[in-house]
Structure formats: C-alpha cells, structure tokens
Amino acid sequence: MEINIQERLSALSKSVFRNRFKLSSKDILYIQEKGLETIKQHAKDFILKRVAPKEILNDGKQTPMRGHPVFVAQHATATCCRDCLFKWHKIAKNKTLSEEEINYCVEIIMTWIKKELKSFGF
C-alpha cells in the first residue's frame, strides 16, 4: 500500500465537506490531558472496532461527528467508514482491513491531529 499521506491530506483539504472538520478547544484540551500516545491508541481501537471488520452493520453511520478528537479526525481524513476509505484512499470494501491498512488509517488520523494542534500553537 503506497499512499503519500501529505498528498492525501492535501487532496482532502480541497473537499468542502472534509475541510469543515476542525478540532474544538475541548478536543485540544482532551488531547493535552491524555497525550498523543493515548490518542493514537484510541485511534487504533476505533479503527479496529468500527472500520476494520469485513462486515459492518451500520457502515456509514458508525463514526460520530464529534465527542472525541479521533472521531473529528476520522471525518476530516475520510477514515470514518468503508465507503469513504474506498473513495478517498482506494482501500477495498468487503474485506477485513490488513494491518498495513489499519496502520495507515491511524497514521493519517494522527498526522491530521498534529497539524490541527500546530494551528492552535502546540
């Protein structure tokens, strides 16, 4: 799987829908309290449970729009459901995500979160 994360984030930033997602001050505070390693583990857990399985009963509705910084990042990075993963990242549907694909999702989420943190001066 050879996808350049910076190129993908640049493409996503041109989407009006994707570009509207921003971390709130509450999200920033949560990240500061928990630390980036914990947030990264949350991202991996959410991907494993909500996106990685071959069959997802509520695909397209499994990721809330807010309530956790990773949820916001998933929508901003199109790692929120299998349709978005296919459309934006060309990761096939109807199969369990590979470890490489899971790690890619986590990496793009964390890259986006770090970029957002910088915009807040962190």
Q: Rounded to 5 degrees, what are φ and ψ at 77?
A: -105, 5
Q: Residues 81, 60: contact at Cβ < 8 Å? A: yes
pLDDT in tens, the chain (122 residues): 567 899 999 999 999 999 999 999 999 999 999 999 999 999 999 999 999 999 887 777 888 888 999 999 999 999 999 999 999 999 999 899 999 999 999 999 999 999 999 988 88
Q: Residue 110 is which amino acid?
A: M
Q: Which two tokens stand for residue 71?
A: 């949820």
Helix axes 69-76, 99-119, angle to 10 degrees: 100
